[in-house]
């Protein structure tokens, strides 16, 4: 099944207590597309870069079977740049700079063959741009969307409009509370379901993820990773594994969404092992499958009870 990904395409500079990476390929769409591509290729990419965007990065995306027909390259434009520094507690991150550059005037225009695509993943960008993409699609079967504090605070009305067109919303815990204006995560998720999405997925970083619909609740375990070098893009890799699995199987049942949440967690757990997109470059299917099985083992227990 075909899959479309829209989001930022960036040149990132990242510092963590374990090292740094300067001017590397990043952006929400890149992480999503790389992770999703292991399940459902080719991924159709929609985004914008400037003429300073290294040609080797475009070639790399093509090598990974990512369709770049929807990538706009603006002559004399400067690519979106983001810099981040993580603390020893890697849940804490300082954004050093966000230079929107070509993103400020981005007008996503879908090539005709992108409009019929069945599965869509909206990476974290301005909700107005997310809506613009959806309005060009013919009949998507499922739309997964991501957002962040920045848009919840600054473009709430626009975000609420886009939310009415999203089936599965992926957020972290603080974004969930902020959007719903409710401290309890389960109540907050149900409030968000009232805004449009059928499912809300709350990513809790190293503590796993929750999948919530009006009637069901599923808690995915956290994988005990011993080597974490760089958490950048983990949330996007999660969204990529999730939509990639749903597109591959073309199955939106609740049971399959649970599997998709685990595949999302698998891709996020790989992502953090190395800097930038490095670990997502050359995974094998065997590695992905083995980690999926390890996730299952993590929360499996038998039904014996000590009570009479
Ligand atoms: P995450 O770690 O999931 O927040 O994603 C990090 C990626 O998002 C980096 O590669 C950045 O280039 C990109 N990013 C950071 N801030 C923004 C923003 N305001 N809009 C779009 N993309 C962003």
pLDDT digit string, tens, across residues 29-53? 999 999 999 999 999 999 999 999 9
Query: What's the 28 CA to ligand 1 centre distance in angstroms?
Result: 6
pLDDT at 250 exceeding the cut of 90: yes
Q: What is the length of the chain?
A: 308
Structure tokens at 118: 């069945």
Predicted confidence (pLDDT) per residue in 124-170, tens digit: 999 999 999 999 999 999 999 999 998 999 999 999 999 999 999 99
Share of the chain above pLDDT 90, in %: 90
Nearest CA to ligand 1 atom 20: 125
- Rounded mean pLDDT of 80-97? 93
How far is the C-alpha of 241 from the C-alpha of 271, rounded, in Å?
11
pLDDT value, residue 11: 98
The atom of ligand 1 lying closest to the CA of 10 is: 12
Q: How confident is the model at residue 304 (pLDDT cuts 50, 70, 90)?
A: confident
Nearest 10 degrees: CA dihedral of 106, 107, 113, 117? 80
In this prediction, residue 299 has a pLDDT band, given cuts at 50, 70 and 90, of: confident
The answer to whether 79 and 52 have CB atoms below 8 angstroms apart is: yes
The Cα 49–Cα 55 span in angstroms is: 11
The alpha carbon of 282 and the centre of ligand 1 are apart by a number of angstroms equal to 22
Ligand 1 pocket: which of 7, 10, 46, 106 to mutate (most atoms <8 Å of CB)? 10
93 is written with which tokens? 């991150």
Q: What would the pLDDT profile of 178-230 be if each residue is shown by its tens digit?
A: 999 999 999 999 999 999 999 999 998 778 999 999 999 999 998 888 899 99
Query: Is pLDDT above 80 for 303?
Result: no
Q: What is the pTM of this model?
A: 0.96
Distance, in Å, from the CA atom of 6 to the CA atom of 213, rounded to the nearest integer, reads: 25
**pLDDT at 308 > cutoff 80:** no
Distance 294 CA to ligand 1 centre (A): 29
pLDDT of residue 2: 92
Q: Considering only 72-81, 97-106, 114-123, 293-302, which range has the smallest mean pLDDT?
A: 293-302
Q: What is the pLDDT of residue 130?
A: 96
Is 90 exceeded by the pLDDT of residue 14?
yes
Give the up-direction half-sphere exposure of residue 30: CA atoms within 13 A in the CB hemisphere: 27
Predicted local distance difference test score (pLDDT) of residue 179: 98
Q: What is the 3-state secondary structure (H, E, C) of the chain?
A: CCEEEECCCEEEEEEECCEEEEEEEECHHHHHHHHHHCCCCCEEEEEEEECCCCHHHHHHHHHCCEEEEEEEEECCCCCEEEEEEECCCCCCEEEEEEECHHHHHCCCCCCHHHCCCCEEEECCCCHHHHHHHHHHCCCCCEEEEECCHHHHHHCHHHHHHHHCCCCEEEEEHHHHHHHHCCCCHHHHHHHHHCCCCCEEEEECHHHCEEEECCCCEEEECCCCCCCCCCCCCHHHHHHHHHHHHHHHHCCCCHHHHHHHHHHHHHHHHHHCCCCCCHHHCCCCHHHHHHHHHHHHHHCCCCCCCCCC
Specify the residue with its C-alpha closest to ligand 1, atom 9.
27
pLDDT score for 119: 98
Confidence (pLDDT) at 300: 81
Nearest Cα residue to 212 out of 244, 171, 152: 171
pLDDT of residue 126: 92
The protein residue with its alpha carbon nearest to ligand 1, atom 22, reads: 8
Q: Which of 13, 46, 82 for mutating ligand 1's site (highest number of atoms within 8 Å of CB)?
A: 82
Alpha carbon distance 166, 130 (integer Å): 10
Ligand 1, atom 11, lies closest to the CA of: 27
């Amino acid at each position: 099944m075909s899959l479309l990904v829209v989001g930022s395409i960036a040149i990132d500079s990242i510092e963590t207590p374990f090292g740094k990476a300067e001017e590397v390929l990043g952006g929400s769409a890149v992480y999503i597309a790389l992770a999703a591509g292991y399940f459902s290729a080719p991924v159709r990419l929609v985004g914008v870069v400037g003429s300073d965007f290294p040609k080797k990065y475009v070639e790399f995306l093509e090598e990974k079977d990512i369709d770049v027909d929807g990538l706009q390259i603006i002559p004399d434009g400067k690519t979106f740049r983001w810099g981040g520094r993580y603390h020893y507690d890697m849940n804490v991150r300082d954004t050093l700079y966000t230079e929107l550059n070509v993103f400020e005037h981005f007008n996503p225009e879908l090539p005709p063959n992108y409009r019929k695509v069945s599965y869509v993943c909206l990476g974290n960008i301005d909700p107005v741009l997310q809506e613009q993409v959806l309005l060009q699609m013919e009949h998507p079967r499922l739309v997964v969307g991501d957002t962040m504090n920045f848009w919840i605070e600054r473009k709430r009305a626009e975000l609420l409009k886009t939310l009415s067109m999203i089936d599965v919303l992926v957020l972290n815990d603080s974004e969930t509370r902020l959007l719903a204006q409710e401290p309890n995560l389960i109540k907050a998720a149900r409030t968000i379901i009232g805004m449009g999405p059928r499912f809300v997925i709350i990513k809790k970083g190293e503590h796993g993820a929750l999948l919530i619909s009006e009637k069901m609740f599923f808690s995915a375990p956290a994988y005990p990773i011993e080597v974490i070098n760089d958490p950048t893009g983990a949330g996007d890799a999660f969204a990529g594994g999730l939509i990639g699995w749903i597109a591959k199987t073309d199955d939106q049942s609740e049971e399959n969404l649970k599997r998709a949440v685990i595949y999302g967690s698998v891709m996020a757990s790989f992502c953090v092992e190395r800097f930038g997109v490095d670990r997502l470059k050359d995974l094998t299917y065997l590695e992905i499958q083995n980690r999926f099985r390890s996730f299952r083992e993590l929360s499996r227990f038998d039904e014996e009870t000590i009570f009479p």
